[in-house]
Structure 1
Amino acid sequence: MHAFIAIGVGLAMGLAALGVAIGQGLVGKGAMEGISRQPEMSNKLIAYMIVAMAVMETALVLGFVIALMLLGRM
């Protein structure tokens, strides 16, 4: 039973980190493309990018909390 919990912990953290990394990469790419097209909007685009990345980080925190809950069952 402990092996399945360990696999669940690894999957929870790994998949959460993978999803967040892909999402943040796409947001960063989009922001940089927007800044290259309209440099005068760079301050606004960077602010929106930071907020979007902070919202995406909640998925990683949720994965971490789930991993801790699973570890508590071991």
Structure 2
Amino acid sequence: MKKKFEYNEIVEIVNSSNPKLKEAINKKGYIAGDAFDENTGKWIYAVFIFDNEIVYSCDEDNLKSTGEYFQEDEY
């Protein structure tokens, strides 16, 4: 299955029923890693959130691309 997001792509966490993501909804960050879950057939993404500098594990359904990419010298 093709990935929806690329490394360093800036995304926004838009929704989730996971209580651990509640504080990160509507926050932006970048894709720091990914893994394919063979049990669900979905990609899981590690998203580094700019505001609180925490990495969250997100399903691709929880994310929306901003169309921008993170450059290390910008942060």
Measured against the shorter chain, the TM-score band is under 0.3
Bigger radius of gyration: 1
Larger RCO (alpha carbons 8 Å, 6+ apart): 1
> Which structure features the higher share of helix residues?
1
Q: So what's the TM-score if we normalise by structure 1?
A: 0.20
Q: So what's the TM-score if we normalise by structure 2?
A: 0.20
> Which structure features the higher share of strand residues?
2
